[in-house]
Amino acid sequence: MNVKSNIKLVNDSLAQGCRLIAVSKTQPIEKLLEAYEAGQRIFGENKVQELESKHQALPKDIEWHLIGHLQTNKVKYIAPFVSLIHSVDSLKLLTEVNKQAIKNNRIIPCLLQVYIAKEETKFGLDENEVIELVTNFPAYLTNVTIDGLMGMASNTDNENQIQAEFKGLKKLFEQLKSVTHPSIRMKELSMGMSSDFELAMQEGSTLVRVGSAIFGTRNN
């Protein structure tokens, strides 16, 4: 795999208003540097420890996104530097992110992860939980913003099903744009991975999370 040319290929295929998150989980630092040299500045990781060590090792103008499940007791490690947390799936977690954001004297932008797949194993809030949280946003959450929604489609070859899941998330996203709370800023829709990012862009994605199409298949 030639990381540099893959980065260019994916970037050239991006829809207007859509940004690429290079999902670099399990990849060695050298691979991330190749992507960096090709101009990539947003990287996504799904594990806190890996995010932390790569942040330390790499240039400081990189935006680090946490895309995987986040445990409350690990928020403190990424709170000083994380640019966007895609995987907020409970009020408990959001409350902890807020607490750590206050400690670090910053605002941490978050996305709410919405459960859209027809599978049992994926994390996320359901549609009603998202609406409830966003429309009754707790006043004590002073140091987090909800910048949008994230979803993962079913792991299936059925494009119609994937498309329907993306459409459903987009619809919820549009609906929530009418919420006028200053901490609710529905501007990012994080959907699409290597296998379905073109479909996701057709349905209005603003952030695609692409790993294997850039770095090659992972062993783990």
What is the binding site for ligand PLP (CB under 6 A)?
23, 25, 46, 67-68, 152, 193-195, 209-213
What's the closest the beta carbon of residue 215 comes to ligand PLP, in angstroms? 8
What's the closest the beta carbon of residue 182 comes to ligand PLP, in angstroms? 28
Contact 50, 68 (CB under 8 A): no
Q: Considering beta carbons, is residue 144 or 152 the nearer one to ligand PLP?
A: 152
Contact 62, 41 (CB under 8 A): yes
Q: Which residue is nearest to ligand PLP (CB)?
A: 211
Q: Considering beta carbons, is residue 148 or 211 the nearer one to ligand PLP?
A: 211
What's the closest the beta carbon of residue 211 comes to ligand PLP, in angstroms? 3
- Helix (H) or strand (E) run with residue 45 in it: strand 42-45
Task: Of 88, 96, 131, give the one whose Cα is nearest residue 112.
Answer: 88
Q: Considering beta carbons, is residue 113 or 143 the nearer one to ligand PLP?
A: 113
What's the closest the beta carbon of residue 27 comes to ligand PLP, in angstroms? 10
The length of the chain, given as a count of residues: 220
**What DSSP letter does each residue of 123-175 carry, written as one string?**
--B-HHHHHHHHHT--TT--SEEEEEEEE---SSS-HHHHHHHHHHHHHHHHH
Q: Considering beta carbons, is residue 66 or 141 the nearer one to ligand PLP?
A: 66
